Amino acid sequence: MEFLVQIDVSMPMELPEEERADLLSRERALGRAYLRDGQIKHVWRVPGGLRNIGVWEAEDATDLHEALAALPLFPWMRIEVTPLARHPITVVGA
């Protein structure tokens, strides 16, 4: 099943800069792995902040939550999840 996932990160400016850089680099590595393995199908940056919008594939909400909670920046994220259904105009022959 697909989900629209909007993520807003509040970078922890109180952490030392190198710890922040390390978090960010581990975040991106896991993001790339998800993209390669199909958990993330599409992802875009929303201009003007550390915000992104993605389309995620997961078996169900439990599976999706596990993938999100594994993100290194998870404790600093505000995440909104919208379940997605098939739209009639995308169905051949409908």
CB of 53 to its own copies, least distance (A): 6
| Cβ atoms within 10 Å of 13's Cβ, excluding its own | 7
Q: Which of 75, 46, 76, 66 is nearest to 56 (CA)?
A: 66
Q: Which residues bind its own copies (CB under 8 A)?
A: 1-5, 11-13, 28, 31-32, 35, 42-49, 52-55, 60-62, 64-65, 68, 75-90
CB of 17 to its own copies, least distance (A): 11
CB of 16 to its own copies, least distance (A): 14
73 residue type, one letter: L
